[in-house]
């Protein structure tokens, strides 16, 4: 190969390499290689999962349903729920309103979706803060186009929280059939705090 031909080949190779760079080839940078993403066909299932994930992010992890397919209650129905293992005396005290109400939520005037968000945040925050007994005022919804709608939703949603040990319609002094006592379990942080307090008392004697 003559010197002229060799020079032409080098120029041709350089132009070819430059053309490849213009087409999007990414050089190595640092450790390892950068792999250009490839287009993936979006199936209906993937699209729905993406939508659900986006909604989940927007709601802070709220997985409560919209309340569209729940058991509709009567405005005068009494709410009652207790998980296995909860002592009878503890549940009795809850029903009778003997525990201090440490936090409360009023859902009057809220739409179902607003109530869904409110209940989620209220209970998540309460559990994180070590609240043990709280009150949710939902009203009876008597005389409405959809009677007891929010009340029915609250009754449906509460068992979905693993840390809700029990709930029961409140005593008249706290709202009666339009409100519900909710008993929460102790969070890990609360249990650790209690253990430290017990240890501190033990060390004093």
Per-residue pLDDT in tens (0 to 9) along the chain, 205 residues? 555 454 444 455 445 444 444 444 444 444 433 334 444 455 554 444 454 444 444 445 677 877 778 889 999 999 999 999 999 999 999 999 999 999 999 999 999 999 999 999 999 999 999 999 999 999 999 888 889 999 999 999 999 999 999 999 999 999 999 999 999 998 766 555 555 555 555 566 5
pLDDT of residue 41: 53
Taking the whole predicted model, whether its pTM rises above 0.85 is answered as no
- Could you give phi then psi for residue 169, rounded to 5 degrees? -55, 140
In a domain, 205, yes or no: no
Question: CA-CA distance, 107 to 115, in Å (whole number)?
Answer: 6
| 126: in domain | yes
CB burial readout 71-100, b (16+ within 10 A) else e = eebebebebebbeeeeeeeebeebbebeee
CATH at 100: 3.30.1370.110
Q: Two tokens at 203? A: 């060390």
In a domain, 124, yes or no: yes
As a whole number of angstroms, the distance between CA 92 and CA 81 comes to 12
DSSP codes, 143-200: TSSSTTHHHHHHHHHGGGSTTEEEEEEPPGGGTGGGEEEEEEPPPHHHHHHHHHHHHH
Number of domains in the chain: 1
DSSP bridge pairs for 106 = 137
Q: Is residue 27 part of a domain?
A: no
Residue 118 counted as domain residue: yes
Nearest-CA neighbor of 164 among 77, 82, 63?
A: 82
Could you tell me if residue 69 is inside a domain?
Answer: no
Residue 51 lies in a domain: no
Sheet strands (E) in the chain: 80-82, 103-106, 133-137, 164-169, 179-184
Backbone angles phi, psi at 69, to 5 degrees: -125, 70
Residues 6+ apart with CB under 8 A from 9: 1
The tokens 């650790």 sit on which residue? Answer: 192
- 162 lies in which domain range? 80-192
**β-strand pairing of 103-106 with 133-137:** parallel
Tell me if 84 is assigned to some domain.
yes
């Amino acid at each position: 190969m003559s010197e002229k031909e060799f020079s032409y080949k080098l120029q041709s190779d350089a132009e070819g390499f430059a053309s490849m760079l213009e087409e999007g080839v990414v050089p190595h940078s640092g450790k390892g290689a950068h792999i250009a993403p490839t287009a993936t066909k979006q199936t209906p299932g993937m699209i729905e999962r993406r939508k659900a994930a986006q909604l989940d992010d927007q709601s802070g992890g709220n997985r409560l349903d919209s309340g569209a397919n729940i058991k509709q209650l009567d405005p005068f129905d009494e709410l009652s729920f207790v998980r296995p293992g909860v002592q009878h005396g503890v549940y009795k005290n809850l029903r009778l309103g003997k525990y201090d109400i440490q936090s409360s939520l009023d859902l009057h005037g809220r739409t179902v979706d607003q109530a869904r968000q409110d209940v989620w945040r209220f209970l998540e925050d309460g559990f994180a803060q070590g609240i043990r007994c709280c009150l949710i005022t939902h009203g009876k919804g008597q005389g409405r186009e959809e009677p007891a709608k929010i009340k029915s939703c609250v009754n449906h949603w509460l068992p979905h929280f693993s840390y809700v040990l029990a709930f029961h319609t409140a005593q008249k002094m706290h709202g009666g059939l339009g409100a519900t006592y909710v008993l929460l379990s102790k969070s890990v942080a609360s249990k650790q705090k209690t253990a430290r307090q017990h240890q501190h008392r033990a060390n004093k004697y």
